[in-house]
Amino acid sequence: MNGPATLIILLILVLWLPSCQSVQRNIDVISMERKIDTESPDYEICSSFTLTKKAVVDYFSVAKEVSGDEFHHESIILPCKYQGSMKIDDTQFQWEIFAGGSGYLYNKSIEKRYLCKETCCKILTGLC
């Protein structure tokens, strides 16, 4: 294969390969705090639930953003969570991650729901 055919194949590869790369976002966790609803009868299960700032960044990098309907049907909201604020690519957000793998990311104009599924659960052991 010489000439124009090779050139066309190279052009297709040059245009197609960058789309295979994942989008890297700049995530900076500004604050975080642990919250446990001690009024809930099963709050003892929260004793081993811990997150670090790195785990929060990992969560919002690999958890699956889902629709409100999917979140409603699949999420598990336990009486313990971490919450705080972060910047993603210079946009300020509030966030929450519950034991069990459900999460929210929101500000005045955006509300996103996340579920920690297979890949996320493998990376963040102890969350799911």
Identify whether 15 is part of a domain.
no
Q: In this structure, is residue 106 part of a structural domain?
A: yes
Specify if 2 maps to a domain.
Answer: no
On whether residue 56 sits in a domain, the answer given is: yes
Query: 123 burial class (0-12, 13-18, 19+ CB within 10 angstroms)?
Result: middle
* Residue pLDDT tens, the chain, 128 long: 565 544 444 334 334 434 434 456 899 999 999 999 999 998 999 999 999 999 999 999 999 999 999 999 999 999 999 999 999 999 999 999 999 999 999 999 999 999 999 999 999 988 98
19 in a domain, yes or no? Answer: no
What pTM does this model have? 0.80
pLDDT of residue 16: 40
Structural domain range at position 46: 25-123
CA atoms of 9 and 16, how far apart (whole Å)? 10
Q: Number of folded domains in the chain?
A: 1
Task: Report if residue 73 sits inside a domain.
Answer: yes
pLDDT of 4: 54
* CA distance readout (Å), 12 to 4, 6, 21, 22: 12, 10, 15, 19
Residue 85, domain member (yes or no): yes
> 17 lies in a domain?
no
Which contiguous run of DSSP H or E holds residue 93? Answer: strand 91-98
C-alpha distances out from residue 79 to 61, 88, 113, Å: 24, 27, 18
